[in-house]
Amino acid sequence: MGSCGSKRPKCKPASVNQTKQKDKIEKRKSKRLLAITCPVAFAFDNSPLQDFCVADNSSSAVLVNGLVCKDPKLVQANDFLFRGLHLPGNTSNAVGSKVNLVNVGQFPGLNTFGISMARVDYAPLGINPPHIHPRATEILTVIEGSLQVGFVTSNPENRFITKLLQKGDVFVFPMGLIHFQRNVGHGNAVAISALSSQNPGIITIANAVFGSKPTVSSDLLSKAFQVDKNIIVRMQSQF
């Protein structure tokens, strides 16, 4: 007697079983894809789950994104206000520029919002030296003057992408790539930057390589840069 006799429960058609098998395979694929993409999703600041979380250092506050939250009932309008970006920065230094960063450290109201900004002042021929923001993409607008800007793509191509910007021009620096700005005008220059993190971080390449504490081995750097060790020692002495 066949397995699908009249006295036995009806068998499911082969097509139904095949469909279920395909569904199981697709679910497995989806789980694998989720496992791969989750780390990417958390590579940026977490999205807030509340209206705001003004940073507060009191011991009774709630920890969110590495900072504690002020009691919402105690939050005031001033918690969402920052003053001072109209003031020019002091560019009397070795690089001829000054960055006034407004991140969650200076502006508690930014906590959990995933944004920050900066005013950058440049003396004539001043530079914002090559650096990276490990946690943020940056978009820069020239307010006054003319700037040469650029960034270098990742290995192995290391392509140098650069542009001359005038007042009102906007340029974007991808997250984690080495970038710079240089004042190429005859007067002072000013730019405003916005960054996609409440705490974007900054690593200035020269300071990190030659001014680390403790110092990186001069033998190692000599091989890395393919120059005489004495040159490395002299460079380290500058930082």
- CATH 2.60.120.10 region(s) of the chain? 83-203
Distance CA 140, CA 228 (A): 38
Residue 179 annotated as binding? yes
Distance CA 228, CA 239 (A): 18
Which amino acid is located at 151 in the chain? F
* H helical segments located in the chain: 14-41, 205-210, 218-225, 229-237
Kindly state the helix (H) or strand (E) to which residue 203 belongs, with its residue range: strand 203-204
Q: What is the pLDDT of residue 54?
A: 78
Residue 186 annotated as binding? no
- Residues forming beta bridges with residue 138, ordered by sequence position: 173, 195
> Over its length of 239 residues, how does the chain's per-residue pLDDT go in tens digits?
555 555 555 555 556 566 667 666 666 666 555 554 444 444 456 666 567 777 776 665 556 556 788 889 999 999 999 999 999 999 999 999 999 999 998 999 998 899 999 999 999 999 999 999 999 999 999 999 999 999 999 999 999 999 999 999 999 999 999 999 999 999 999 999 999 999 999 999 999 999 999 999 999 999 999 999 999 999 999 99
Query: Whats the size of the chain, residue-wise?
Result: 239
Q: What is the pLDDT of residue 107?
A: 93
Q: What is the pLDDT of residue 175?
A: 95
Q: What is the pLDDT of residue 120?
A: 98
Domain 83-203: CATH superfamily is Jelly Rolls (2.60.120.10)
Q: Which residues contact 174 (CB under 8 A, 6 or more apart)?
A: 137, 151
pLDDT tens digits, residue range 55-107?
776 665 556 556 788 889 999 999 999 999 999 999 999 999 999 999 998 99
Residue 131 annotated as binding? yes
Q: What is the pLDDT of residue 37?
A: 45
Q: How many CB atoms lie within 10 A of CB 77?
A: 7
Respond yes or no on whether the N-terminal peptide bond of residue 129 is cis (omega within 30° of 0). no
